[in-house]
Chains A and B, each alone.
Chain A
Amino acid sequence: MPDLLSVLTSLAWPFAIAVAWLAGEFGQRWTGLPRISFYGLVGFALASSQIGVLPAPDAGAVSLLADVAFGLILVELGYRINLRWLRINPWIGVAGLAEALLTFAAVYFIAAAFGIAQITALMLAALSMATSPATVVRVINEQRSSGQVTERVLHLSAQNSVLAVFAFNAIIGFWIFRTSEDLGDAVWNSLVVLAMSAFTGAVFGMAVPALLQAIRNPSQDATVAFALAVILLVAICATGGLSPVVSTLAFGLAARHRRVAFSQAQRNFGALGELLTVLLFVFAASTLAWDKVVAGGTLALILVAARLVTKTLGVTAFSHLSGVSWRKGAFTGLALAPLSVFVILLVEHARQSGVAAVEELQSMAGVTMLLEVFGPIVIQRALVWAREAPEQRHAA
């Protein structure tokens, strides 16, 4: 029997990914909803704490692959960020700050009102500021959307994710400082790590395009070179305790501003990216447990609703100043709803590196599960309503 068990265990991930992919294809065809919503549902259903097909999440190969998948998406996002635009039109950045701070405040006060410990409420608030880049990039590419809502969601997602990483690490630093009185540790855990991560990513962003230019083929397919670099960078982050989010984002940003053009075929990093995306979304949802999702139920619903309101308000307020209609501003804010994959990976990292406080983030499980499924749907609707993506034709 032990043989059969080990065979079943080694089949678990390939099986889950195949099922999720099929669910995504058929689900998308029948309902017109984004594929990644279905990946999330399958991952959640097959998780160790539900049906139990998948093993409990640990720091193994799958977790690292999920980081690579997320890294590929972040490089693509970084590559699409135009810092010059944010300088010329500062109201976009201001709108991003406004929606993030509003969200932070709202989530903190709601959590506190529900009697959640201060440190947990702060972490919850920090994480809620983010918009998951994975969902945003995937849905935008799947819908082939383009326009101001699309552009702005990409830029704001990058901005508020960095803000969230910074705030989250600072709070963890603060927590370590308060519990172990080790100031060095606290500082190390926040600022230095972020700076080191950004620096490492930027070095990659300089080196890879330079290398490609040296071998004189910028018009050829650069997908493999970039993908290999991401794998290497994520591995370095895992070993060196750096933030893969910040470093891969910095990689993409630096590469863009070196002006070596990615060709159209490399959206999503081709087939490699498609494959790893399935794994990423299945993995993310498989870390959630049903009992915890339900336990945080009411609070989760209220937090998701509050977050939708604060993000929409924050961005809409500056829409006229930043050069778009109120309508497009409101849809931009609404499209910032996705959260899950980003938060799950961040929390997993914190847990794996022994930050006990994240175990308290139970109320986050409900929020992430809700947004794992509904986040992609909300952004898809926002893009369709803003007439930046065509209404999907589907069988239903």
Chain B
Amino acid sequence: MPLERFAQSQPLTFGVELELQLVSLSDFNLAAASPDLLHLLGRKPFPGNVTPEITESMIEINSSVQSSYLPLLTELLDIRSTLVAAGDRLNIGICGGGTHPFQHWSEQKIFAKPRFQYLSSLYGYLAKQFTVFGQHVHIGCGNGDDALYLLHALSRYIPHFIALSASSPFVQGHDSLFDSARLNSVFAFPMSGRAPFMLTWDEFADVYFAKMERTGIINSMKDFYWDIRPKPEYGTIELRVCDTPLTVERAAALAAYLQALCRHLLERSEEPPAEDDYLVYNYNRFQACRFGLEGSVTHPKTYETVSLREDILATLAKVEPHAEALGSMEALRHLAASTAAGSDASFLRRQYERQGSTEGMVNAAIQRFRGERRVG
């Protein structure tokens, strides 16, 4: 089946998907609770949307299509309250974070749905190791060419989103020394990484996708696990590198930053993207995963190396006029403050120090998601 036409959507509209952890409140391990939670949530209309994920200890929520930051934030806060109330009724803890700090993948149950069972048998342990939790942000594009232009122009800013959302320092009970260890799990998949460098939709669909489909390796866009991928049926590009932050406030702010950045890039005032931009891509990406805000990145055009924190602050300043126009200045201020206060990953490490156990760390993440600030 050839790749479908790129549906046109209102440029710069956006939406957020969050994969969330379901946790037992007794031992703070992941708990296979999604069937019960979805049953209870199904009784009342849900703000946005909620769906099962591959393992039963995970759910995915998504916002509706929004055009500005405040309504998006309001909707996400609504979703959070609904989830927290349902979790309270069923004795289920709900939290963000890119990984669960001590779960064992061998214990995860695969949700009973044909696609999930198929993926599980295809990828074996990779499917369960994929018990990681990400935030995806969709940005609406006027046409397929704009989508591919944005996709490649954003490649230079990918480390920003990794570092600002990083919330997966622990894996299988130990500090991985990465701020975002989650992306290492994603990288294990054969179809992960970057999209091929093409700037017109026709070339992408008729040449690249058609060839790939003939190889028989892939059937649809869903089989690509790229950092950013086009989603032709929605008319969007989808940023997939973010860990699920510990709070929905951070999730909304990240989406607003991406929106403002895209508005800036669409002005095409920056030097256009080129295949050679990807020479530094994997190394910059690694710096962001490993060191977070403390990392340093190499500029793809000038080869100048700067601290990631400074690069983020400079970019936040650069997109301010766009945030002004889009009504999301508050989101940029939130992110600027977080570059000083430290990422969610450093919050989690602090909690581990203070509580003395990974269980205490999960408990702190649950309180954080609820919006209770007393764990500081």
Q: CB distance A216 to B356 under 8 Å?
A: yes
Please give the distance in Å from B99's CB to the nearest CB on chain A.
Answer: 16
Asked if A393 lies at the interface with its beta carbon under 8 angstroms from chain B, I say no
Residues in B whose Cβ lies below 8 Å from that of A387: 35, 112
Residues of chain B contacted by A85 (CB below 8 angstroms):
25, 88, 91
Q: 1/0 per residue A76-101: CB within 8 Å of B?
A: 00011010010011000000000000
Shortest CB distance A392–B (Å): 14
Q: Is the CB of B26 within 8 A of A146?
A: no
Known contacts A151-B91, A324-B36; A146/B356 CB under 8 A? no
Quick check: is A223 within 8 A (CB to CB) of the other chain? no
Contacts of B36 in A (CB 8 A): 147-148, 324, 328
Give the shortest distance, in Å, between B135 (CB) and chain A (any CB). 26
A261 at the interface (CB under 8 A from B): yes
A89: chain B residues within 8 A (beta carbon): 88-91
A218 to B360, CA, bound (A): 10
Q: Are B91 and A261 in contact (CB under 8 A)?
A: no
Is A323's beta carbon under 8 Å from chain B?
yes
Chain B: minimal CB distance from A324 (Å): 6
A9 at the interface (CB under 8 A from B): no
Interface size class of A (residues with CB under 8 A): 20 to 34
**What's the Cα separation between A171 and B31 when bound, in Å?**
41
Residue from B24, B29, B91 with most neighbouring chain A CB atoms (10 Å) = B91
Please count the residue pairs between chain A and chain B whose beta carbons lie under 8 angstroms apart in the complex: 74
Hey, which chain B residues are within 8 Å of A147, CB to CB?
31-33, 35-36
**B355: A residues at CB distance < 8 A:** 218
Give residues of chain A (317-337) contacting chain B, Cβ–Cβ below 8 Å.
322-325, 328
Give bound CA distance, A306 to B323, whole Å. 68
> 8 Å CB contacts to B: which residues of A208-230?
213, 216-219
Tally of contact residues, B, Cβ under 8 A: 29
In the complex, are the beta carbons of A218 and B356 less than 8 A apart?
Answer: yes
- Does more than half of chain A's interface fall in helix, strand or loop, or is it mixed? loop
Q: How far is the CA of A146 from the CA of B57 in the complex (A)?
A: 10
- With both beta carbons as reference points, the residue of chain B lying nearest to A212 in the complex is identified as B356
Chain B 321-364: CB-based contact to A (< 8 A → 1; otherwise 0): 00000000000000000000000000000000001111110010
Contact A146 B89 (CB under 8 A): no
Q: How far is the CB of B365 from chain A (nearest CB, A)?
A: 13
Q: Does A388 contact B (CB under 8 A)?
A: yes
CA distance A395 to B375 in the complex (A): 51
Q: Does A264 contact B (CB under 8 A)?
A: yes
Interface hits, B16-44 → A, CB 8 Å: 24-29, 31-33, 35-36, 39-40
Contact of A35 with B by CB under 8 A? no
**For residue A87, which residue of chain B has the nearest CB?**
B88
Nearest Cβ in chain B — how far from A117, in angstroms? Answer: 42
Contact B356 A80 (CB under 8 A): no
Are B39 and A324 in contact, with the CB atoms below 8 A? yes
| A262 at interface by CB-CB < 8 Å | yes
Task: Flag B101-133 by CB within 8 Å of A: 1 or 0 each.
Answer: 010000101001000000000000000000000
Decide yes or no: A323 and B357 within 8 Å by CB, A85-B25, A259-B363, A261-B27 being known contacts.
no
Q: In the bound complex, do residue B27 and residue A148 qualify as a contact, i.e. CB atoms below 8 Å apart?
A: no
Interface presence of A263 (CB below 8 A) = yes
Given contacts A219-B357, A259-B360, A324-B39, 18 further A-B contacts (CB under 8 A): A85-B91, A88-B88, A89-B91, A144-B107, A147-B35, A148-B90, A218-B356, A218-B357, A218-B360, A261-B357, A261-B360, A323-B40, A323-B86, A323-B89, A324-B36, A324-B40, A325-B39, A328-B39
Q: Which 3 residue pairs spanning A and B have beta carbons closest together? A: A261-B359, A219-B357, A85-B91
**Would you give 16 A-B contacts (Cβ < 8 Å), ordered by A?**
A80-B27, A89-B88, A144-B107, A147-B36, A148-B33, A148-B36, A219-B356, A219-B358, A256-B26, A259-B360, A263-B102, A263-B359, A323-B90, A324-B40, A324-B90, A328-B39
Report which A residues bind B (CB closer than 8 A).
79-80, 82, 85, 88-89, 144, 146-148, 151, 213, 216-219, 256, 259, 261-264, 322-325, 328, 387-388, 390
